[in-house]
Amino acid sequence: MVTATTPLKAEARNLNFIYNGGNRAVKNLSMPLYENKITALIGPSGCGKSTFLRCFNRMHDLYPGNKYEGQIVMHPDNTNILDPAVDPIEVRMRISMVFQKPNPFPKSIYENVAYGLRVRDIKNKRLIDEKVEEALKGAAIWNEVKDRLQDLAFNLSGGQQQRLCIARALATDPEIMLFDEPTSALDPIATANIEELMSELSNKLTILVVTHNMQQAARVSDYTAYMYLGELIEYGDTDSIFTHPTRKETEDYITGKFG
């Protein structure tokens, strides 16, 4: 439930995002992200939820001509992570991401998880070993891969690959983890595993997840935001959004009349 005591981890303030070519995919969006909670972004395809998510780790900076307006402020340091003076790499060091389709590197299982540490100039082999094990345990895949850490990551199943990607994102101790439809390419059992994992992870870090699947949002998230055509239509704790939506559009979407 939203209480005065739940600390804020981040906050979007009047955020606009304009793609190269002028398409305004996120419009004047303001929304909180509470610490150690899971916030779900739902809405029909093309509503801007993934675009919004990718603002959090400045992924849009990789492509020329994209433009942010407004702010995403991270707490407790009050940094506006969209400020051009803030290096996107610094932002990505604090906020990690799990993608829609499992995208392990064509390297060994071990190297996939260790890569984030190597990028941070960690050279101590024992420390990397420890961190890799910890991350793989945290992503609930350790038991399946501990005997074949040097195998290629591509030899894992889709669900295992996605958990490996979670381990990769986890190894660097991020403050926030972004999930962009993390189960859309997985079967129901693998999906259940990932959902359980997200709930566990939220004890330690803040999660923002985009999902197409309303049941998933209802199952895993503490807060839900419904977006449509780049605008935030309704935001609230998940129970009230799903049981008593205040806006007609939200209700229509949730009940399946639309979308």
- CA-closest candidate to residue 82, choices 164, 139, 6, 26: 26
Distance (Å) of CA 67 to CA 32, 91, 157: 21, 17, 37
Residues numbered 103 to 132 that lie near other proteins (CB under 8 A) are: 103-106, 115-116, 118-120
Among 25, 38, 47, 59, binds other proteins (CB under 8 A): 59
Please work out the total of residues on this chain that contact other proteins, with binding judged by CB under 8 A.
Answer: 26
Answer yes or no whether residue 1 interacts with other proteins by CB under 8 A: no
Residues numbered 160 to 199 that lie near other proteins (CB under 8 A) are: 165, 168-169, 172
Answer yes or no whether residue 101 interacts with other proteins by CB under 8 A: yes
Question: Least distance in Å: CB of 257 to other proteins?
Answer: 26
Q: How many other CB atoms are there within 10 angstroms of residue 65's CB atom? A: 10
In sequence order, which residues have a C-beta less than 8 Å from that of residue 200 and are 6 or more positions away?
138, 140
Answer yes or no whether residue 99 interacts with other proteins by CB under 8 A: yes
Token digits of residue 218: 């209802």
Distance (Å) of CA 259 to CA 43, 110, 164: 8, 41, 32
Q: What is the length of the chain?
A: 259
Indicate the residue among 162 and 238 with the shorter CB distance to other proteins: 162
Residue with tokens 């839900």: 224
Among 39, 51, 66, 96, binds other proteins (CB under 8 A): 96
Question: Least distance in Å: CB of 119 to other proteins?
Answer: 5
Token digits of residue 134: 């910890």
- Give the 3-state secondary structure of residue 238: helix
Answer yes or no whether residue 159 interacts with other proteins by CB under 8 A: no
Answer yes or no whether residue 154 interacts with other proteins by CB under 8 A: yes
Residues engaged in binding other proteins (CB under 8 A): 57, 59, 62, 64, 89, 92-93, 96-97, 99, 101, 103-106, 115-116, 118-120, 152, 154, 165, 168-169, 172
